[in-house]
Protein backbone atom coordinates (compact mmCIF):
# COMPACT_ATOMS: atom_id res chain seq x y z
CA UNK A 1 0.00 0.00 0.00
CA UNK A 2 1.15 3.53 -0.69
CA UNK A 3 -0.14 7.05 -0.30
CA UNK A 4 0.54 10.08 -2.45
CA UNK A 5 -0.55 13.40 -1.01
CA UNK A 6 -1.15 15.22 -4.27
CA UNK A 7 -4.22 17.22 -5.20
CA UNK A 8 -4.30 18.21 -8.86
CA UNK A 9 -2.28 17.53 -12.01
CA UNK A 10 -2.84 21.15 -13.02
CA UNK A 11 -0.52 22.26 -10.19
CA UNK A 12 2.49 20.92 -12.08
CA UNK A 13 4.26 23.32 -14.41
CA UNK A 14 6.60 22.51 -17.25
CA UNK A 15 4.45 19.83 -18.87
CA UNK A 16 2.23 20.57 -21.82
CA UNK A 17 -0.80 18.32 -21.31
CA UNK A 18 -2.78 17.03 -18.35
CA UNK A 19 -2.69 13.58 -19.88
CA UNK A 20 1.09 13.53 -19.65
CA UNK A 21 0.91 14.53 -15.98
CA UNK A 22 -1.76 11.94 -15.26
CA UNK A 23 0.29 9.24 -16.97
CA UNK A 24 3.40 10.21 -15.03
CA UNK A 25 1.53 10.21 -11.72
CA UNK A 26 0.19 6.75 -12.53
CA UNK A 27 3.70 5.57 -13.39
CA UNK A 28 5.00 6.89 -10.05
CA UNK A 29 2.14 5.13 -8.24
CA UNK A 30 2.88 1.86 -10.05
CA UNK A 31 6.58 2.07 -9.19
CA UNK A 32 5.78 2.83 -5.54
CA UNK A 33 3.42 -0.12 -5.43
CA UNK A 34 6.21 -2.39 -6.68
CA UNK A 35 8.66 -1.05 -4.09
CA UNK A 36 6.07 -1.32 -1.30
CA UNK A 37 5.56 -4.96 -2.26
CA UNK A 38 9.29 -5.67 -2.26
CA UNK A 39 9.78 -4.06 1.14
CA UNK A 40 6.45 -5.18 2.58
CA UNK A 41 5.94 -1.70 4.03
CA UNK A 42 3.37 1.01 3.14
CA UNK A 43 4.90 4.05 1.41
CA UNK A 44 3.91 7.69 1.81
CA UNK A 45 5.29 10.19 -0.71
CA UNK A 46 4.97 13.92 -0.06
CA UNK A 47 3.36 16.07 -2.74
CA UNK A 48 6.57 18.11 -3.01
CA UNK A 49 8.42 14.94 -4.01
CA UNK A 50 5.81 14.11 -6.63
CA UNK A 51 6.05 17.63 -8.08
CA UNK A 52 9.83 17.40 -8.14
CA UNK A 53 9.73 14.04 -9.90
CA UNK A 54 7.17 15.27 -12.42
CA UNK A 55 9.12 18.38 -13.35
CA UNK A 56 12.69 17.13 -13.20
CA UNK A 57 12.52 13.90 -15.19
CA UNK A 58 12.86 14.29 -18.93
CA UNK A 59 9.94 12.98 -20.93
CA UNK A 60 10.29 9.28 -21.69
CA UNK A 61 13.17 8.61 -19.29
CA UNK A 62 11.41 5.92 -17.29
CA UNK A 63 14.66 4.24 -16.25
CA UNK A 64 15.87 7.39 -14.52
CA UNK A 65 12.53 7.78 -12.72
CA UNK A 66 12.64 4.16 -11.58
CA UNK A 67 16.20 4.55 -10.27
CA UNK A 68 15.33 7.70 -8.34
CA UNK A 69 12.29 6.04 -6.74
CA UNK A 70 14.29 2.92 -5.83
CA UNK A 71 17.08 5.02 -4.27
CA UNK A 72 14.59 7.12 -2.32
CA UNK A 73 12.84 3.99 -1.04
CA UNK A 74 16.16 2.43 -0.02
CA UNK A 75 17.28 5.55 1.84
CA UNK A 76 13.90 5.86 3.54
CA UNK A 77 13.91 2.18 4.45
CA UNK A 78 17.14 2.66 6.40
CA UNK A 79 15.46 5.38 8.46
CA UNK A 80 12.35 3.21 8.83
CA UNK A 81 14.35 0.31 10.32
CA UNK A 82 15.84 2.63 12.92
CA UNK A 83 12.66 4.52 13.87
CA UNK A 84 10.22 1.60 13.45
CA UNK A 85 7.56 3.85 11.92
CA UNK A 86 4.28 2.71 10.39
CA UNK A 87 5.31 3.45 6.80
CA UNK A 88 8.11 4.79 4.65
CA UNK A 89 7.79 8.56 4.41
CA UNK A 90 9.58 9.77 1.28
CA UNK A 91 10.51 13.45 1.49
CA UNK A 92 12.69 15.70 -0.67
CA UNK A 93 15.67 14.82 1.55
CA UNK A 94 15.35 11.21 0.39
CA UNK A 95 15.88 12.02 -3.29
CA UNK A 96 19.36 11.38 -4.66
CA UNK A 97 21.57 14.28 -5.69
Q: Give me the CATH code for the 2-6+16-94 domain, please.
A: 1.10.8
Q: Where are the domains of the chain?
A: 2-6+16-94
The order of strands in the sheet holding 88-90 is 2-4, 43-45, 88-90
How confident is the model over 4-14, as a mean pLDDT?
A: 46
3-class state of residue 4 by DSSP = strand
pLDDT tens per residue across span 39-82:
999 999 999 999 999 887 766 688 889 999 999 999 999 888 88
Predicted local confidence at residue 81, as pLDDT:
87
CA distance 80 to 40: 12
Predicted local confidence at residue 13, as pLDDT:
47
Say if residues 67 and 78 touch (Cβ distance below 8 Å).
no
CA distance 90 to 78: 12
How confident is the model over 14-31, as a mean pLDDT?
A: 75
> What percent of the chain has pLDDT above 90?
46
**Spatial CA neighbour of 88 closest among 47, 32, 50, 48:** 32
Would you say residue 22 has pLDDT above 90?
no
Amino acid sequence: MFYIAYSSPSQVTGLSAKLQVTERIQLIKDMLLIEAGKLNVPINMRSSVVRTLLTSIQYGNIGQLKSIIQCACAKTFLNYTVTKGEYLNITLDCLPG
